[in-house]
Amino acid sequence: MKILMTEEEITQRVAALGESITEAYRGKDLTVVVIMNGALLFGADLVRRIQLPIRIDLFAASSYENDRSSGKLKVRSELKNSPAGRHLLLVDDILDTGFSMKCIREHLAGSGALSIRTCVLLNKHVGGKQFLAPDWVGFDIPDRYVVGYGLDSEEEYRNLPYIGILE
Ligand code: IMP
Ligand code: MG
């Protein structure tokens, strides 16, 4: 395992993202939607760095099966609360093609949310063609398969406190 981002680097970057998000949503009703399971750790750390009276909700979906894109979104669990009249910030671990995030965004678009923006910890495929441009990005990374800090390979490695390249 080659370490790509240490625990300290992640902590610092998440704090900066939290500050930026705090400024962007001051005075607005924000619901942070943590996309499960990949954004479990990132989402938990990020919300603690947003200094606003936010709500937190979970949305479980993925477009990946066995580390390969299955080409369609599978929704496993919907939001608990209606987003009507609120601003949504969708938080995910990693954007590769952007297909998953685009599908989730479209899925939630008819829900009455005032706005829907996106925040990902990692952005792969930088410069390449993506289905969606994220509003906040933690780190641009090379096109390698990474694990840790919520990211898995067949459900393992999610609990690593750092992000590494699987070799
Ligand atoms: P996209 O739909 O191509 O943007 O793929 C995004 C999803 O694929 C993420 O939410 C992850 O679940 C998964 N994924 C993509 N690249 C990686 C990786 O390097 N490690 C772990 N999961 C990944
Ligand atoms: Mg995911």
- C-beta 148 within 6 A of ligand 1: no
Task: Kindly list the structural domains of the chain, giving each domain's residue range(s) and its CATH number in brackets, ordered by start.
Answer: 7-145 (3.40.50.2020)
Mutate which of 99, 100, 124 for ligand 1 pocket (most atoms within 8 A of beta carbon): 100
Q: What number is the average pLDDT over the span 36-62? A: 97
The band of 128, judged by pLDDT with boundaries at 50, 70 and 90, is confident
- Considering the entire predicted model, what is its pTM? 0.95
Active site residues: 96
User: What confidence tens digit (pLDDT) does each residue in 93-121 have?
Assistant: 999 999 999 999 999 999 999 999 999 99
- Judged by its nearest atom, the ligand closest to the C-alpha of residue 95 is 1
Omega within 30 of 0 (cis) for the link into 81: no
User: What confidence tens digit (pLDDT) does each residue in 50-79 have?
Assistant: 999 999 999 999 775 545 555 688 899 999
Q: Do the beta carbons of residue 32 and residue 89 sit within 8 Å?
A: yes
| CA 122 – ligand 1 centroid, Å | 9
